[in-house]
Structure 1
Amino acid sequence: MSSSPQTPGTRKPMKTLCPDTFTFEFENLPEAYGRNSTYLCFEVKTNTLPSPDFPDSGIFQNQDQPPGHHAELVFLAWFFKRLRLGECYQVTWYVSWSPCSRCADQVANFLKSHGTVRLRILASRLYFSKKLENREGLHRLSQARAEVKIMSLKDFEYCWENFVNHEEKPFQPWMNLDKNSEGWNAELKNIHRSSESRSQSGQFGSTLLPQEYGRGERNPRDLLTEGIFYQQFNNKHKLKKPYYKRKTYLCYELNGPQLVKGCFHYEEGHHAESQFIEEIGSMGLDQGRLYFITCYFTWSPCHSCARKLVSFVKGNSHLCLKIYTSRLYYHWIWKYIQGLQHLQNSDVPVTVMTDREFEYCWTNFVDNKGMPFEPWEKLDSYSKNIEERLKRILEKRSTPDDLNEDFRNLYL
């Protein structure tokens, strides 16, 4: 049985490799000619995994067609959309090649922006290890809390058992496996020594590129007031008197070389989603780099805005977008249901906000004057009910009658 190749643009990991592919791609030769792709076998560990939409292991490889992402970036795009705020993750990579300098920079920036993620990288070979930029890239990974090591015989055996369709055949070490591992390990130690020396002498340049962002960081006037946050993000099903209009507010956070934040709200004839798309489109972002964007909505996107967001992401493959929402907008009407399904099917995940996300928004997007977030009554209960409704919408191919019946049963 051969490994199933990934369709370019896909974000789903493979489950296994065929034995010949593994042996050829992971052979730790000092000069590995003809190995032009990186294979990345991963494991993710946390208290709540595995789950159907977040398997705890799999395999990625380079994508040849645009955006041409290397395996490391394909993994990050997949992983980012499944991260849950506040959870801790231990990620292990077994890679045929160590990351190139550009991937190393992006992985390092990702780790700095997501402090709950710990990464361990075990490499069969070092990628163009004589090139200074690749050596410095490996050192920057170490500075970003990533543990980088060379694969040993035990690691190759582990990969064979867990990532190869070996049909009960034992792993057969190739000639000079241990000797090659020792050679690569000595090279990695030399890289860390020389890079540390350069770092101490101040010869490393900064990896941050402020000029990439046309508008820079948002200023304090963009923060929400306490009153607006509690009124607009409140996830109660029904309001009590005095009534007020609950508009769409959108708070976003863009992670790249810099962290950029902003807030938009519905204005007559101009949806918050449209303002957000215009804002990101005006930044002149480097299309050769991945950017991770998290949006927090008071109302989930309408059907029209859902299509706009999908088109925007598909037209900008360097952007990875995920959405948290406090409430579902007209979730019993078929076209809005289809909008939510369209987002999910287009790899733009939609998740219902819990107390963790509300608290995060309070800390990062509200002029809170140093006061802690105070959850409102039944916040958790409302979140669970809305989450159940969203789950029903996204999990099955329903007809309008089916979903209207679900609505009546859930009392939403």
Structure 2
Amino acid sequence: MQPQRLGPRAEMEPVCPGCSRHRPDSPTSACRSPKPIEKLSQGAFCFHFNNLHYAKDRKDAFLCYEVNRKNGCDSPVPLYQGVFKKEGQMHTELCFIYWFHEQVLKGLSPREEFKITWYMSWSPCIKCTDPVTGFLAKHPNLSLAIFSSRLYYPKTPNYDKKLRRLVQEGAQVAIMDLPEFKKCWNKFVYNDGQPFRPWKRLCENFRFQNSDLQEILSSLLRDEVFSLQFNNSHWVQPIQHQPGQLHYYRRKSYLCYQLEWSNGQESLKGYLLSKKGKPHAEILFLDKIRFMKLSQVRITCYFTWSPCPNCARQLAAFKKNHPDIILRIYTSRLYFYWRKKFQKGLCSLWRSGIQVDVMDLPQFTDCWTNFVSPQRPFIPWNKLEKNSWRIKRRLRKIKESWGLQDLVNDFKNLHLGPPLP
């Protein structure tokens, strides 16, 4: 968990419903705190948590929760567990927040850290994402994992943005799979000692729900992925999972892209990953762009590695066939920069009119803001700017050795299509 989170506090009223005196959705005039129930009946669980594509007549919502106190390197200490049901107009998320604030936070030190896990029959609706996001922003000592059986009207306008904002504030959002259903059955259901029996098409329905969720979250990278994969250090720094145990991670090829239209239309963002045995991220990107049949658009790409010779040639061919598209490429590191064929690939990009440069602090900051978290500031890693300067110098020498420095300078002054900022 991040030691400090800077969330969108100024934009939310109230920031934390549990910290507010005014509770418009309180279930009674006495403003009593909602009370959880201990467990669900078998029938209620199987009916309301069934992960059907189209869940007819599931108007009630249930939230099963676990609250654990973090205890240093040891296992978390279990504190509370139970179930909340929607109370009138008060959704389960707010029921939990009010209960947690009044029954847990008030009696404990704000320095204590808690891990909260929710298992929900429906994912948070568009109205509940803001209070939950504000709750996390107000209490940086909390971590929250949300597992949902079904997504609540994922095609609702702006629902994707609300859910991404929740993730950016530090929440883990996922779809319930077989292990989560088993855990719920064992902990939150009066099961009479019987094992959980999966309903028909549970795993198939999980893939359907998970596909929708991943489509919503596809434009976001996790903090640790960005910090590890976009790191521009010459050598890979090992990660210490446990005292005395170091792990060396593999540097993968990520491509973050942002499309901006000249007519002021909202920009399109996303990222792609090269996987073993699959087309490179650059090829996947070109397939996506060709399918969209774009024109008069400005595209900015951030690469962890500069393109290989084949991908560079295909990018260059695409640019020559679409002269009205501005394509800018920023790379964190140069891929096999000492080999002639890789240098030749970079040359083909410059000759086609594609701007190629090395990521520096402004580009890393922009990439973080657009693809990781717009709420939290980017914290540069050690020697970021020094490493960037060294890689820029290598790229400049490649340009000079191929006699392209003047050509590259000319391209920087040439505007095609939408003007550069």
- TM (normalized to structure 2)? 0.43
For the pair shown, the structure with the greater C-alpha radius of gyration is 2
Normalized against structure 1, the TM-score is what? Answer: 0.44
